[in-house]
Structure 1
């Protein structure tokens, strides 16, 4: 890999860095933070995405004809790094930008591109993902939500679960079963569903962290125009694999790596000031060993992502490398947050306004959130199967 940047790439980085410094609220990350209320935070993130769009920083890697900047893969990587480095808010419409938009760009008709892409890139329409079901999560091909063709439309019935941001979304892309008699991978189709359609109901799920990012979504005789199918009928599995390749890819991991490193640096600073017996918490040998391991693993996350970017630059298609990246970072991050709580010792359970809490409970919240890392975007068991079969050539 060549770690050097061209003058044009360096200029791109500095232009973005200066724009972020001007666009983010004064005191951001020090005296100014996201709203604590979940609904207010969601709207704050949505307004931030629209601000990115107004500044020309939305969907930068999309073709210019669809509102993007036609950015290169290297520029896309720089964008992910700089957004994370500035601790910019995460997007509410991340599923629209990273998954729905890229899938429509790759497989949608020209009419679908003209209808949906402008409102995705501007975040005028927020999207959610209708893949997982109560009995079809890791085994995604087992989805049972039915879509029956009736003339110029489909009738959809069934249930989806873990539908992130469904309560704020105007559209959902869903994997549905259109041929119950076909082998499970071959009887699926990829539909774009208007969330305001009669027959759709949403139930937020309260998570262990106290948030309700996830939802249950129910479809009861929901009418979906036939023109809203992406690809051909019963070709949905192939379309969905494109979606998942972007969901698990290096763009996401690069940004995550920097955010994890920022929290790791905060942990190191916290443990340097906390007393433990006659010394500092960070001076305990077992703690130092665990922290060193996390420092190494977070750096390996970055290198794994850059290695995969290099393959793409050399013309390779997106493939099982994405599973390797996702499997690695999810476990490395869980270990890092386990180390954080172990190192905090008796103060680990303290959060909020407690005077003895570390960083107002930052590490506790991250520890709770990390429990989902090895489940969402494909469980670790599924990622290992993909790596074993498609990268190592092991038998099924």
Structure 2
């Protein structure tokens, strides 16, 4: 595991910076800067994914044989960091980071041949059908039924908190195919088309006033068994594999960039007559957050080194998920404090990309409150942090 850049990586960093400078359109940079959700809207992230795909950089974590870059862990880290600093739109992780690796690990050759190129090119836009009303972090309690009927399953039930389901044309979904044995058994992993008759998507408006999540209803939805990944009733194995990438995938590059922005504001803008950089209480909180972030970076590099050697994130994914999300929330709190009374102004119209509505106060404060509100969910989705601590206690500490 390397912690410093050698000449090869310095050259690569310069290549990435040149690429971003030349290929990131101003309108997409603006969309990335104004985005306050987990990832950008498809009208912004798909054009950026197309640009990356043409370069061969859409899937840095994929093996080269499936269209990945073949980069080492340091190159991937550099790329993520430079994209975060440049403010690129955040690509949807559902296909590239979650179901894609899952299909590589458990899919049939036919599924790999069909889905993986489409995921790379952005031809399919995915959502995740895991949580249900009453079955969130306790995922094993899910009840959405899939009844076998010849070459199909017939699905009835609902999924909730389904991010960007209103944009998606595909879903990877967990369904219950048996009630026998432990709750973890009897679950099957399916790939399905969101245009299938009987699927209805209802919006859920978040506390930040945004339409990001949905509830999806299934009424006698017929899904071909050819969409099953892994064996029937063994979807829990596939789901755990995917969750390791959901919780452990990605990097802290976005956190580093966000903390740097807070630091710049603290040193540049006065609050109540003096800079926040001169406020010992604020700077103590800033330093504590910065130290925690450094420990996350080191852990990420350990995990990426393990991945490069052919392993998977394992229980370290739970450590990273917990630490990242809680650090993200601390950075949001610092940003709110730095924004002062500007942070409390609702500016939905002004913060739309391409808007001609002027910001009230400094423009970079417009997203402080929406990000703070949106990211309160970060310590819940993907398995709540309380559940992650149970995983760590069991698998790492042996309790």
Residues 96-148 of structure 1, C-alpha deviations (whole Å, 9 max, x = no match)? 11111110011000011111111111001111110011111000011101111
**For residues 185 and 319 of structure 1, what CA distance do their matches in structure 2 show?**
18
| Contact 2:262-2:334 at 8 Å conserved across structures | no
Counterpart mapping for 1:232-247 below 5 A: 232-247=231-246
**For residues 86 and 344 of structure 1, what CA distance do their matches in structure 2 show?**
21
1:290 maps onto 2:285 in alignment: yes
1:299 maps onto 2:294 in alignment: yes
SS at match of 1:376: coil
**For residues 204 and 220 of structure 2, what CA distance do their matches in structure 1 show?**
23
Q: Give 1:104's aligned residue.
A: 103
| Contact 1:191-1:229 at 8 Å conserved across structures | yes
**For residues 354 and 73 of structure 1, what CA distance do their matches in structure 2 show?**
40
**For residues 378 and 83 of structure 2, what CA distance do their matches in structure 1 show?**
21
Q: Give 1:373's aligned residue.
A: 378
Task: Choose between structure 1 and 2 for higher RCO, CA contacts under 8 A separated by at least 6 residues.
Answer: 2
Structure 2 alignment gaps of length 5 or more: 348-357
**For residues 275 and 51 of structure 2, what CA distance do their matches in structure 1 show?**
44
- Higher alpha-carbon deviation: 121-130 or 62-71: 62-71
**For residues 27 and 341 of structure 2, what CA distance do their matches in structure 1 show?**
32
Equivalenced residues, count: 387
| Contact 2:359-2:366 at 8 Å conserved across structures | no
1:362 maps onto 2:362 in alignment: no
Structure 1 alignment gaps of length 5 or more: none
Q: Give 1:308's aligned residue.
A: 303
Residues 186-234 of structure 1, C-alpha deviations (whole Å, 9 max, x = no match)? 1101001111100001011101112111111111111111111111001
**For residues 364 and 37 of structure 1, what CA distance do their matches in structure 2 show?**
9
**For residues 277 and 47 of structure 1, what CA distance do their matches in structure 2 show?**
42
Query: If the length of structure 1 is used for normalisation, what is the TM-score?
Result: 0.90
Structure 1 pair 314/70, CA: closer, same or farther in 2 (3 Å)? closer
**For residues 41 and 284 of structure 1, what CA distance do their matches in structure 2 show?**
37
Structure 1 pair 317/96, CA: closer, same or farther in 2 (3 Å)? closer
| Contact 1:231-1:239 at 8 Å conserved across structures | yes
SS at match of 1:371: helix
Q: RMSD value over aligned CA atoms?
A: 2.5
